Amino acid sequence: SGGGTTSAGTGGGGGDSITMGFAQVGAESGWRTANTKSIQDAAKNAGITLKFSDAQQKQENQIKAIRSYIQQKVDVIAFSPVVESGWDPVLNEAKNAKIPVILTDRAVDSKDTSLYKTFLGSDFVEEGKKAGQWLVEEYKDSKDPVKIVELQGTTGSAPANDRKAGFQQVISADSKFQIIASQTGDFTRAKGKEVMEAFLKAQPDIDVLYAHNDDMGLGAIEAIEGAGKVPGKDIKIITVDAVKDGMQALADGKINYIVECSPLLGPQLMDLAKKVVKGEQVPPRVVTEETTFTQEQAKQALSSRQY
């Protein structure tokens, strides 16, 4: 099957050095920044030449970047697809050029799974379920309605779709849980703040905010404080990621619970890349290991948090 065209290594680097083209989503969040650093550091450590592009959360930019990697005849292409749909044409171009593709972090919804070698990243449905399970436990003794607002990630992205679905699945077991408003905040702090301001104006009593990432939750905290309410008390907050700023807010009592999503995918990605370039078999799905944090756990974990 496929295999990679091994680049001749122009000059210095020895004949069998690998060149990877990586098409990143953007720099929308603390998570993304940590993910980019992990990939760049790991490439260096693995002796892999990295061509890196930032798509600013636009699919058309990612497609352009992938096409340019195909033209440059890189040995392997890796990317984190900003949205799930619409990748078949460009993935077929890579396949026809015999350049293996690795998906990292986010999935595509292509029916043809031969278009990529493997998918390395989190189980986002599971993350959404963990967020829901905390909420169910938190309100187990209450019969009153629990009014929830949701800040979704980027529309059409795997983490937004799956975190919504997993959460919904768990809370729908009890009709007291009501999502009274749900809108995208595009995974950014600025958008999280803006949308939360609108929620607060439209909804007089919000009990819970579920934000699909820390950054939107942190933006929302500013909006809640701006409205004279106490985040973590008047409105309970659940987020996903567990980046340092999120963990700090959790330790400070402004967030109530964080579901971890690990951005440190670099080392595993480079291992997989070496294997697929050699034409070795790799598992079709590699799931990242993750945990959850309460406020107490955040206080303990904070000092050793790397990102």
Residue whose CB is less far from ligand AHR, 43 or 107 = 107
Instruction: Tell me whether residue 213 or residue 295 sits nearer to ligand AHR (CB atom).
Output: 213
Q: Is 112 helix (H, G, I), strand (E, B) or coil?
A: coil
Of 42, 55, 78, 106, which one interacts with ligand AHR (CB under 6 A)? 106
Give the start-end residues of each E strand in the chain.
19-24, 49-54, 76-79, 101-104, 118-121, 146-152, 177-184, 208-211, 236-241, 257-260, 285-287, 292-293
Query: Measured from the CB of residue 154, what is the shortest distance to ligand AHR in angstroms?
Result: 7
Picking from 17, 1, 262, 288, the residue whose alpha carbon sits closest to that of residue 117 is 1
Residue 261 beta carbon to ligand AHR: minimum distance, rounded to whole angstroms:
5
Size of residue set near ligand AHR by CB under 6 A:
13
Classify the C-alpha dihedral 219-225-231-234 as positive or negative. negative
Are 216 and 189 a contacting pair, CB within 8 Å?
A: yes
Asked whether position 32 contacts ligand AHR by CB under 6 A, the answer is yes
Query: Which listed range, 28-36, 85-93, 131-139, 278-286, lies at the site for ligand AHR (CB under 6 A)?
Result: 28-36
Write down the least CB distance from residue 197 to ligand AHR, Å: 20
Nearer to ligand AHR, 4 or 246 (CB): 246
> Which residue type sits at 232?
G
**Residue 292 class from Cβ within 10 Å (0-12 exposed, 13-18 middle, 19+ buried)?**
middle
Nearer to ligand AHR, 103 or 276 (CB): 103
Asked if 105 is part of the footprint of ligand AHR (rule: CB under 6 A), the reply reads yes
Compute φ and ψ for 255, nearest 5 degrees.
-115, 150
**241 lies in the site for ligand AHR, by CB under 6 A:** yes
CB of 228 to ligand AHR, least distance (A): 28
Instruction: Using the rule CB under 6 A, give the single segment among 26-34, 189-197, 225-233, 281-289 that binds ligand AHR.
Output: 26-34
Instruction: Closer to ligand AHR by CB, 101 or 218: give it.
Output: 218
The pair of structure tokens assigned to 181 is: 């408003």
Q: Does 261 participate in binding ligand AHR (rule CB under 6 A)?
A: yes
Partners of 120 in the β-ladder: 104, 286
Q: Looking only at residues 49 through 88 of this chain, which bind ligand AHR when binding is defined by CB under 6 A? A: none
Closer to ligand AHR at the Cβ: 105 or 150?
Answer: 105
**CA nearest neighbour of 284 among 118, 108, 122, 100:** 118
Closer residue to ligand AHR, CB minimum distance, 81 or 231: 81
Say how far apart CA 78 and CA 121 lie, in whole Å. 12
Confirm or reject binding of residue 187 to ligand AHR (CB under 6 A): yes
- Cβ atoms of 287 and 121 within 8 Å: the answer is yes
Beta bridge partners of 52: 22
Binding stretches for ligand AHR (CB under 6 A): 28-29, 31-32, 105-106, 159, 187, 213, 215, 240-241, 261
